[in-house]
Amino acid sequence: MKRKLVPYSPSPADAIKEGVGGNSGGPSPAPNLPRGTQLLRLRFPRFFSLSALPELPFRRLALCDFLSRHSPPHICSREEVQHCLTAPLIPGDDHISAGILKVFWEWDRQRIVQLVRACIRLGHHPELWKTAKGIVIPKPGKPDYSKVQAYRVICLLDVISKLVERMVGHLITDHLERKKGLHEGQYGCRKRRSCIDAVAVLMNRTQQAWGEKKIAGSLFMDVKSAFNNVNKALLGKRMEALELEPDLIRWMHNFMTD
């Protein structure tokens, strides 16, 4: 997935063309929804729209009906989704913060859970969620700030997009930990492991080598633009070899497609 940079705009989500049920006049009244959900729906119609979902024959179905049909509970639990929502997340182009999403969780958590499950079940990451807001930040200590290299760009994606991404990452990591599919020397992106542990292991092995009157050496590598250069076909085959769920593999391919 190549993330796109868009100009910063302080306005709320206003790119919605369709409301619930696929009509083009925006969200229609929904008296059967809780009061809090109705308020959020009017303020952030994009979150309740079918326009972010794939173009399939179910366009005329109400979003809640669609989600209930395509979100089997075995994919992930409500507790797992809630855990992924607890991490601090900065809002993207839709300006829906993690705090707003947490309030929505208290009012209508089933909708969020079903939405996450449906994305994974369909192997689909909405195109709308692949648009990032780019924030340019100067790198400290640079001698010349007239050069592009003196700045870095932070890409801010929608919170709901990052929630689905984290849920998929959790499912993949959990599967690999149970199947022992990760190398024992990998410390990144693993529970109960950190850079501190990697440094401790390096120091311990160095001291052992010195104790045996040997020379200790290490090689550090930095892969430039690693994400952009990932081969999707090879990654998919590797995920198949590790016996990951086909839904997760399809989602990966869609997530990495511009």
Tens digits of residue pLDDT in 16-62:
223 223 333 444 444 455 555 555 556 555 555 544 444 444 444 45
Which residues are CB-neighbours of 36 under 8 A, at least 6 positions away? 103, 104, 106, 107, 108
pLDDT value for 5: 42
Mean pLDDT (the chain) is: 76
Average pLDDT, integer, range 143-168: 89
pLDDT value for 71: 64
Which 8-state DSSP code applies to residue 158? -
For residue 167, pLDDT beyond 80: yes
Q: What are phi and psi of 215, to 5 degrees?
A: -95, 130
**Cα-based distances in Å from 247 to 109, 122, 202, 239, 244:** 23, 7, 38, 11, 8
The DSSP-derived string for 181-212 is -S-TT--TT-TT--HHHHHHHHHHHHHHHHHT
**Cα-based distances in Å from 79 to 66, 135, 211:** 22, 32, 48
Coil/strand/helix, residue 247 = helix
Q: Kindly indicate the confidence band of residue 169, based on its pLDDT and cuts at 50, 70 and 90.
A: very high
Amino acid in the structure at residue 36: G
Angular region, 165: left φ>0, alpha ψ -120 to 50, beta rest: alpha
Helices (H), the chain: 35-43, 63-69, 78-85, 98-122, 159-179, 195-211, 232-241, 246-255
For residue 119, pLDDT beyond 60: yes
Q: Kindly indicate the confidence band of residue 223, based on its pLDDT and cuts at 50, 70 and 90.
A: confident
For residue 185, pLDDT beyond 70: yes
